[in-house]
Chains A and B, each alone.
Chain A
């Protein structure tokens, strides 16, 4: 059974930093693109970043470029999101998701981890 488990969400002050983690199991992690998607309270879904299976290429939504960095450690079946210069508008539940093959179809999702940016 495919499982994705996020962790690392917390309350952080504006301008602060936070690192999210996602551990995958039940599939060959190193074969899949992975992604982060977020959802602000009561709002819709926003794609944040994606990373290739080997971790050599990344894609970001413009609003996080230069502030967030996605990475992975395939030896530990883990995906990360390093977030810095956090803003109030970054407050959201952050989901990690697996991409099906080489497509941007998000076929499995974690349960999410809440990041709250507030003073």
Chain B
């Protein structure tokens, strides 16, 4: 199974900051990586797929990069509504797996 490891697991930042979350895969997954945002008590929301393609309706302050085994989700100019938990997910092969999550909290 392909393991995804996110870092950091916990992050504090202020409104207006730029933050980056890394997702490392245990083997080459090409660009078969997506990022999701989840707020407490709600379902996850797709932000980015295929490593860097912004899902329709998602603000442009979110961006994704990377390929192979290392990927990054960057949020530029944090907004209050961005404080949430973020997950990466691969679709290279079965079983599909998610990273353990990165909780982003306001400083």
Q: Which residues of A contact B100 (CB under 8 A)?
A: 44
Q: Is there contact, CB below 8 Å, between A112 and B96?
A: no
For the complex, is A67 an interface residue (Cβ under 8 Å from B)?
A: no
CB within 8 Å for A46 and B91 given contacts A107-B46, A107-B55, A110-B43: no
CB within 8 Å for A111 and B43 given contacts A105-B49, A106-B34: yes
Q: Is there contact, CB below 8 Å, between B43 and A95?
A: yes
Within 8 A of A (CB), among B69-107: 87, 89, 91, 94-101
CA distance A112 to B89 in the complex (A): 19
Q: Is there contact, CB below 8 Å, between A47 and B87?
A: no
Q: Is there contact, CB below 8 Å, between B45 and A109?
A: yes
Q: Which residues of B contact A44 (CB under 8 A)?
A: 87, 98-101
Q: Which residues of A contact B46 (CB under 8 A)?
A: 105-107
Q: Which residues of B contact A59 (CB under 8 A)?
A: 94-95
For the complex, is A11 an interface residue (Cβ under 8 Å from B)?
A: no
By beta carbon, the residue of chain A nearest B53 is A105
Q: Is there contact, CB below 8 Å, between A100 and B43?
A: no
A-B contact pairs, 13 of them (CB 8 A): A44-B98, A44-B99, A44-B101, A45-B87, A45-B101, A47-B97, A59-B95, A61-B95, A62-B95, A104-B91, A105-B34, A107-B46, A107-B49
Q: Enumerate chain B interface residues (CB-CB to A < 8 A).
A: 34, 36, 38, 42-46, 49-50, 55, 87, 89, 91, 94-101
